[in-house]
A = this chain, B = another copy of it.
Amino acid sequence: MNWVRGSTTQSLTLWSDSPETTVIVPVVSLRAQNIPASPIRRLTPLADATASRGVHVHRLNIGQPDVHTPRAMIEAYQTYDEPVLAYGPSLGIPALREAAAADYARHGSAVDASDVIVTTGGSEAIRFSLCAVADPGDEVLVFEPFYANYLGFAAEYGVHLRAVSSSIDSGFHLPDIETIEAAITERTKAILVTSPGNPTGAIYSSEEMSRLGEVALRHDLFLISDEAYREFAYDGVKVTSALTLDQVLDRVIVVDSVSKRYSACGARIGFFVSKNPEVHQAAMRMAFARLCPATVDQRAALAAFATPQTYFDEVVAEYTRRRDVLVDGLRQIEGVQTYTPEGAFYTMATFPVDDVDRFAAWLLTDFSLDGETVMLAPASGFYSTPGLGTKEARIAYVLECEALRRAALCLAAAIPRYLESGRGALPRA
């Protein structure tokens, strides 16, 4: 039998046992075709091939921390002992909702357990948010570069992400209010922000968060604030939660996750926080439909909330050192532009090549220094405006200082060699 692509409007084909019959195969939805491939994992096959040749790859493309998970979380798995691994409540185990609410209260936000819905990772909280605020064809305002997977979730829901560009020159802080407002249309339903930022590491100041609240209030928008990196703030910079914006509290949705905070990315526990009853009920109905988050992961997340502050102090001190090693190393490379990110564990950098996608692939296929090379996340996938970010990469400082130092040396050696090869030379001025 022959298979050909088709669609329901193209033809009807009769059932037949003949192996010669041509059969029309239906095509996947347009939205599924619009979901982009992950810019973070796109080069993984090349990197695996490089590693199999015996070249060590410093994987700075992905935000998988090497920090140890709090031991109490691991022990929560080890002590699990029930005869029946049953469904939990759809909104999450009450003790976990209470622990999360108490944690927000410690950070200055008046959140009740009833405002919190436990989700399957921050990812599900993002999905709930987009679905709760926007219908197909509606728009959500984002600041590019932004977390690339927002594009995937938006495509699933038929929501258009309208991006306002931020620049490496300001360390990816917010543009002025007029620039933000100019991007708002009749279809705009929400502003979606990430602070501390992925991929930028920027932490929006209290004034910037208030600016977003002001725009949300003026234009009748929801404010979705992805605060998954809340604990990762350096040099004493303060993270302002959207939950402290009293004047717009009813339109705030906070997306949160235990993944980064407790180095527990595999636990898939996040939080959807809203004090707006209609938003809460919308998310609740979505939560009921998918039954519940993982039962044992919730036990582990509950144990995580007892983690002492000293754990975070050590983690923050270590990431501060790593950031400094990486940024110092990048600054010594001619033609590379970077800045000092205030939080998360990423920085963006501009490279003196015309296409970082090609340069990043070349680093894996054609380059090594003393048997080592570097894997970057090309930044184009973090932008939705075509052509932006082609000279930028996101670099995650999730490895130890010595590896980051060697990675920077690799990049310093690679750039002139790449330019000399003539493959990625910028046109001379």
A191 to B111 Cα, complex, angstroms: 43
Give residues 38-53 of A contacting B (CB, 8 Å): 38, 41
Asked whether A8 lies within 8 Å of B136 as measured between CB atoms, the reply is no
Asked whether B41 lies within 8 Å of A288 as measured between CB atoms, the reply is yes
* Segment of A95-103, A120-128, A411-419 engaged in the interface with chain B: A120-128
Within 8 Å by CB of A285, from B24, B35, B266, B268, lies: B35
Give residues 338-381 of A contacting B (CB, 8 Å): none
A216 to B208 Cα, complex, angstroms: 54
Asked whether A268 lies within 8 Å of B282 as measured between CB atoms, the reply is no
Q: Mark A286-300, 1 if CB is under 8 A from B, else 0.
A: 101111111111001
For this complex, 10 residue pairs linking A to B, each with C-beta atoms less than 8 Å apart, are A26-B133, A32-B131, A66-B84, A69-B85, A78-B78, A78-B79, A78-B80, A85-B267, A152-B290, A296-B296
A157 to B130 Cα, complex, angstroms: 11
A136 to B127 Cα, complex, angstroms: 16
* Segment of A11-19, A308-316, A317-325, A387-395 engaged in the interface with chain B: A11-19
A12 contact set on B, CB distance < 8 A: 218-220
A contact residues, total (Cβ < 8 Å): 109
Asked whether A123 lies within 8 Å of B289 as measured between CB atoms, the reply is yes
Any B CB within 8 A of the CB of A337: no
A83 contact set on B, CB distance < 8 A: 68-69
Given contacts A153-B289, A217-B13, contact A8 B88 (CB under 8 A): no
Given contacts A84-B68, A218-B13, contact A250 B25 (CB under 8 A): yes
A90 to B44 Cα, complex, angstroms: 12
A86 to B6 Cα, complex, angstroms: 41
Any B CB within 8 A of the CB of A158: yes
Q: Mark A191-219, 1 if CB is under 8 A from B, else 0.
A: 00000000000000000000000100111
Give residues 243-302 of A contacting B (CB, 8 Å): 247, 250-251, 263-268, 276, 278-279, 282, 285-286, 288-297, 300
Q: Mark A108-144, 1 if CB is under 8 A from B, else 0.
A: 0000000000001101100100011111111000000
A15 to B217 Cα, complex, angstroms: 6
A180 to B57 Cα, complex, angstroms: 56
Quote the shortest CB–CB distance from A288 to chain B (angstroms).
Answer: 4
A9 contact set on B, CB distance < 8 A: 186
A73 contact set on B, CB distance < 8 A: 85
Any B CB within 8 A of the CB of A29: yes
A247 contact set on B, CB distance < 8 A: 1, 15, 17
Name 9 extra pairs, CB < 8 A, besides A8-B186, A8-B187, A32-B133.
Answer: A6-B220, A12-B218, A28-B282, A29-B282, A35-B285, A66-B84, A85-B264, A87-B266, A120-B120
